[in-house]
Structure formats: C-alpha cells, structure tokens
Amino acid sequence: MHFVQAKSLISSKNGMNLYRGCTHGCIYCDSRSKIYNMNHDFEDIEVKQNSLELLKKALKSKKEKCMIGTGSMTDPYIPLEFKLEFVRNSLKLIYRYGFGFTCITKSDLILRDLDLLKKINEKAKTVVQITLTTADEDLCRKIEPNVCTTKRRVEVLKKLNDADIPTVVWLTPFLPYVNDTEENISKLLDYCIETNVKGIICFNIGLTLRDGNRQYFYKKLDESFPGLKNRYIEKYGSNYVLESENNRQLMDLFYKKTAENNILNKPDDVFRYLRDFPNKDKSRQSTLYFN
C-alpha cells in the first residue's frame, strides 16, 4: 500500500476510483493491462489519500444529482477497505448530498455498509453489481483465489434483495475450456433468478486479453491448468477477444432464461437502468456511466 495526493476523483462520467490495484488475485483481470498505465505493482495498492476531500468538493459543485459509480477499474471492497473505510466514508458523503450510488464488487465486505446503502436507496437510489463467473466452488478458488466464493456472493445478493436494494450481475468472463459450459451458465442464471436480480450484463461467452493481463493469465493457467495455455495460443494467437466455441448456444440459453424471468439482458438497457437517477422533474434527470 502507498498513498498519493490525487488532483481529481470524479470522472466526466461520474465514476471514481478510491484505490488503484487489487489483491483479489483474479487470474483474468483486465485491470492488469498495460494500457491503464499503472506504474506500480498491481498488489501494491495506490490509495488516494485526499479522495474524501475531493469527493466532497465535487458533490457540492454538481448542479444536478446523479449516480456515483465505482468498481470498474478496482474492486472498492478490497481487504484494505476494512481498515481504511474510504468507501464507507464516501457513502456517508453521497448520502449527505443526496446522490445515488452503484458499485461493482465480488466481496461480501459490502454487507458492512448495508445500513448506508439502504439510506441512500431510500433517499435516492442504490444499485449493487456483483460478478459471478462459476458455480463450481473449487474452480472459483482457482480463478478468483482471494475473495469470497460464488455461494457467498449469492448470499450477498439475497441479503440485498431482502433489504430492497436492486442488484445487477456481471456474468463474465468465461474462460474457454474452463467454465464455458451449459451446466455452469444455467446454474449461474438460476442463482440470478432466485435472488431477483434486476439485470445481467453478459456481452458474450468468452474473455479478453491484452498486454499485461495476458502474461499474468497464462502464468496462472500454467499453475492451475497445465497444458491449457498452449491450447489457447494455438486457437486464439494474440487475439484480444477469445470467444468460446459454445458462444452461440450459451447466449441463446442466456437470452431465453432471462426473457422468461423478466430480467434485463441487453447491456445498453442495463447501463441505462444503472445511470438513471430518480428525479421528479424528468426533464432534468441526470445520467452517467463510469470508466
């Protein structure tokens, strides 16, 4: 961990990153890509020491209320958050100034802040986004080793539903020859149905690899799935998109089950739901999405 003084916090699309880097250890993480210019070890978390002051200043200066998002680059509920409470203190400011909140996480640490999430949802709007990749607990521990497993994340979804907080699931990524099976997709969709999720983001069945995360991913394949790296190289070469051979039939299954259960299943529709801020004067409704 190291501290920095940031010049700004809220992006033009109303997203924020309190931390840069992550210790969840997910083997496929795109945030390791060199394109993001993270000039420190990924596990050496960069903490924006003045983030709360910057957030307060930004919220006070905004002319219209909107949703504030976090988690697209770094999971906000990394273990370090348990001690520092930057997210929790940010939620207090978001509630105080009447804004909405949404985040993407894999961690059950978010339940610590359930009281504030409920308050924000009562006053404005809260949407929690949870990533699910595999229904196999042992496989989950291999590909997402340092964060709670899928069953616990499903428990989090249930608790949020019980608290009337809407949820969205990111059903991604799917590693070819690993978790791109009908059994896995169907079980994950059942979890989403059981927990009454509002929408599911699933672009396709596959994953993306760029310079930086590709090398880490292949290293971890060698450790946990011997021989699979060579199969990837032979089939995909240096492609950015690694689409599953089962993509078409699995996406058909995805659209069928979500449509039958009235779950938003088109990314644009889900993103629209995430950015819509409840405002009595619809002509002044603010929008966002975050980097």
User: What was the pLDDT predicted at 282?
Assistant: 36
Q: What is the pLDDT of residue 49?
A: 97
Tell me how far apart the alpha carbons of residues 270 and 169 are, in angstroms, rounded to a whole number: 10
Contact criterion met (CB below 8 Å) for 59 and 93? yes
Return the pLDDT at 228. 98
By three-state DSSP, how is residue 217 classified?
A: helix
Residues 6+ apart with CB under 8 A from 163: 114, 117, 118
Residue closest to 90 by CA, chosen among 108, 107, 71, 106:
71
Interval 103-123: pLDDT, tens: 999 999 999 999 999 999 999
DSSP-derived 3-state class of residue 27 = coil
pLDDT in tens, 4-61: 999 999 999 999 999 999 999 999 999 999 999 999 999 999 999 999 999 999 999 9
Q: Check residue 87 and give its pLDDT.
A: 98
Q: Comparing C-alpha atoms, which of 201, 210, 202 is closest to residue 236? A: 210
* Domain ranges across the chain: 2-284
Q: Write down the pLDDT at residue 169.
A: 98
Main-chain phi, psi angles of 150, to 5 degrees = -60, -45
At a CB cut-off of 8 Å and minimum separation 6, what does 180 contact?
174, 205, 206, 244, 245, 246, 247, 250
Is 254 within 8 Å of 202 (Cβ atoms)?
A: yes
Reported as type and span, the H/E element at residue 143 is helix 137-143
CA distances from 210 to 34, 142, 253, 258, 270 (A): 8, 21, 28, 30, 26
Q: Would you report the helix, strand and coil content of the chain in percent, each value rounded to 5?
A: 45, 15, 40
The distance from CA 193 to its chain's CA centroid, rounded to whole angstroms, is: 19
Amino acid identity, residue 167? T
CA-based nearest residue to 60, from 9, 23, 22: 9
Rounded Cα–Cα distance for residues 1 and 41 (Å)? 10
Q: How many CB atoms lie within 10 A of CB 255?
A: 13
Does this model's pTM top 0.85? My answer is yes
DSSP 264: B
Rounded Cα gap, residues 45 and 22, in angstroms: 6
pLDDT at residue 82 in the model:
97
By the 8 A CB rule, do 179 and 244 touch? no
pLDDT of residue 80: 97
The CATH code of the domain at 2-284 is 3.20.20.70
